Structure 1
């Protein structure tokens, strides 16, 4: 099944909601290819590597999306992962290649979200506000 760039954007956002926010692994398996290729250095290979990582994180884990762009089979999502038990939320650029309507391959760039005191530019990394001490935007 060939999907359009717009369909891929929608599929990615649905997949992230189902896996990261709802923790519905059965439903998530419908979005991720059985042959999923993981390029992230901190996640074990394959769909099982990703799902098993999420299982180890607190139930408070949340994904928020700010921007999603797509061209052909590739989608890039700019988002925030918070509630993972670390001092700062992660700001991520997730790059996904789709194949047959499923997430087939993934790369990411992760960075701890800067506070107002840490921001050389004086601008927040995500949204319009800097994070509070809890790791969520004020």
Structure 2
């Protein structure tokens, strides 16, 4: 095959790839990253490996977006007990899932941790935890939810 023919073939391939990846198609790209969970720290924080590209893996902690679960080390006895249940449920849901993925990842308000919608078999893990009563909605701004029934107390 002549050099000119080889160049023409490569050039045609580049044109075809550029046509497929036009910016007008960018809105259709999903920001979903496969995630292999290695541990569950508490009800709303997991650690694992994100597959960013076929041969590019990144180990990170991820805070579940939009919720708060009770803390394991702080609070009243009832909230600590619920924290154990929340962690156990999160662990069970990610282990039972065939596919875990991060959707729309970003940095938390302090810039040190990843915050994302965590999907387990396509369902939002935060929503599942709220539905089961072990998490409350929380945007990350303002006061965190009270888990000890002392709202309004000083």
TM-score by length of 1: 0.28
Q: Which has the larger radius of gyration?
A: 2
Which of the two has greater helix per residue? 2
